[in-house]
Chains A and B, each alone.
Chain A
Amino acid sequence: MGQTIAEKILSRVAAETVRPGDEKLFQPDLITAYDYPGYVDRYAKQMSEELKIDRVRNPEKFVLFIDHLYPAGTPKAQEIHAITREFAKRYGFKLYEGHGIGHQVISEKGYIKPGMLVIHFDGHISTIGALGAIGIGIRNSMIEAFATEEVALVAPASVRIELKGKLARGVTTRDVFHTIVKRIGPAGARQCVIEYGGPGLANLEMDERFPLCNLAMFLGGITAVMETDEKTDDFLKSVGVSEFTEMRPDRDAKYANTVTIDLDDVEPVLVAPPSPANTIPISEAAGLRIDSGYIGSCASGRIKDFQQALEILDGRHVAEGFRLNAVPTTAEIQARMGEMGLTSRLINAGALVQTPTCDFCIGQLGALTDNERSVSTGTLNIPGRMGSKIAEIYTASPYTIAATAVTGRITDPRTLF
């Protein structure tokens, strides 16, 4: 019987055929985490004090990141980082601090190969699916992964998203993802792996692919994975990964559901508060007064996102009183933006170009006050996510945010080309 990509990966890891529904212990290829109060600090304590484990078998399987509450704004935040540094040192784990958001840095640093199984506590590790690997967020079972280098998983079924066609100008994969949410519902891939493929995938650049995988949880997905192709290969080679196998499902693989998305038909959408479940056509909120914008996060904040924003911003200026934060996802992206001249163009248009950090996504920086409204490429728009509980967050594409930034009102970017 044919296998989906996820079945292939889990079967390879288990060294036997794994079918959806099988409950098994898996040994992940990589175990990764970022520090945040109650996570790595807690694992560090559990490992040494409660489980009394003083070393792990394969320290090279672990990668940690400091990307939240960064740079530390309080002694308390610095203390959390200090615990993570000490934890990494003690067990011999690789730690990246200040390189940007871990969910992307891990790919940039060449850790990810197609076919890998990667474990994190945070579900946005699904981002690496763009490289044909699966990243699963297992929440607190992380301590099981740290202590035993194994995790118990119930093998998931897959939902196939068959992409065809090409995006029109002004439309992005953020719009595609939230159009899928609208189409199959926020639980449309619940408990499943979302597998993207089809001829339309070839028309999407890597920077456009990562967001589609990153947002998997908002379709109820356990994670997402993509077929690999020449673009994946080019990316992998650029980060020094040379030996890998291509990931494609078998022709007769079985899916819980198959959905075809014609990229030509996708239009810009907004995700209205109070939840990522809430896709609306941009026309429904057009003209709404907006105070600030954020382009960044593990979902968006790559070169392509800023190039798209600049298609609108070049030759224009952010509206009086509007705050536009442009936050590269990683330091490497930040450096490349400088080399490519994107940073100065953003600054000239009135954007505030920031250093890579998660903090704009969680309202630690650039916070909103009562009754403000923001447009964001962050992942989440629930009340309080970016500051005040009575501020509103609309998530949108970089095009829409740029268009909104120049008018101060929600604007369909296609009206400004």
Chain B
Amino acid sequence: MLPKISGRVAWIFDQPNFDIDLIVGVENIGTQDIETLKFVCMADYDPDFAESVQPGDLIVGGENFGYGHPHFPACRALRALGIAGIVAESFSPGFYRGESTNAFPLIECPGILDNVKRWDHLSFDWDSEVLSIKGKAMSLQCARIPQKTKDLLEAGDLISYLQRSNRLRRPDEQAG
């Protein structure tokens, strides 16, 4: 089953070309300890962030979100705090590739910035790829999500996805 996307907007990065390393601070991009990452996550934006989010909350981003060198600790930290996905105007390709491989839902939704404010409640329908905003009559059509990304999200992580696939042939099982 695809993960349920229904949650509040915990933060809006409205600037284009946002570098996600800034979420944990560039000094922490080599940090693997999840408690440290949770502690530093969003500290430069909202020191109360960790207390104010709840599981299922979402992040909203602007154009070309994830521009720069997108390292993994930022989204690991967000996920550890309960963030269930990111909805952005558009994503930078390296970021999209990396985080969708980590089975983190990324939804490209042109027009999102003009239509939401912090703490609005969003829900996403995986079949129609439409995003709705609680209390608003309108909804937003999002970009098509590649099948591979959906398969990964269903599997939950790349390792499970590979294990489910029939592509893990042993060398000696190979013809030629």
Contact = CB atoms under 8 A, between A and B. Distances in A.
B167 interface: yes
A152 B92 CA distance: 18
A191 B63 CA distance: 13
B31 to A, nearest CB: 8
A252 interface: no
Interface string A143-154: 110011010101
Contacts of A138: 97, 101
B16 A187 contact: yes
A56 interface: yes
Contacts of B22: 382-384
A382 B97 contact: no
Contacts of A380: 68-69
Contacts of B44: 389
A67 B21 CA distance: 21
A57 interface: yes
A150 B171 contact: no
B16 A141 contact: no
Nearest to B148: A152
B21 A51 contact: no
Given A37-B30, A148-B162, A389-B25, A222 B93 contact: yes
Nearest to B72: A38
Contact of B64 (A50, A144, A220, A384): A220
Interface residues of B, number: 41
Contacts of B32: 37-38
**Interface residue SS majority, chain B:** loop
A36 B30 contact: yes
A55 interface: yes
Interface string B128-156: 00000000000000000011100000000
Contacts of A383: 22, 26
Given A139-B97, A140-B101, A143-B158, A23 B147 contact: yes
B146 A186 contact: no
A217 interface: yes
B68 A276 contact: yes
Contact of B67 (A144, A154, A277, A389): A277
A137 B92 contact: no
B163 A51 contact: yes
A37 B163 CA distance: 24
A154 B146 contact: yes
A147 B68 contact: no
Contacts of A51: 159, 162-163, 168
A275 interface: yes
A385 interface: yes
B99 to A, nearest CB: 8
B68 A187 contact: no
B94 interface: yes
Interface of A: 23, 36-38, 46, 50-51, 53, 55-57, 123, 137-141, 143-144, 147-148, 150, 152, 154, 186-187, 190-191, 217-218, 220-222, 274-277, 363, 379-380, 382-385, 389
Given A221-B93, A389-B44, 14 more contacts: A23-B146, A23-B147, A57-B171, A123-B69, A123-B94, A139-B97, A140-B101, A144-B158, A148-B169, A154-B146, A191-B93, A275-B17, A382-B19, A389-B27
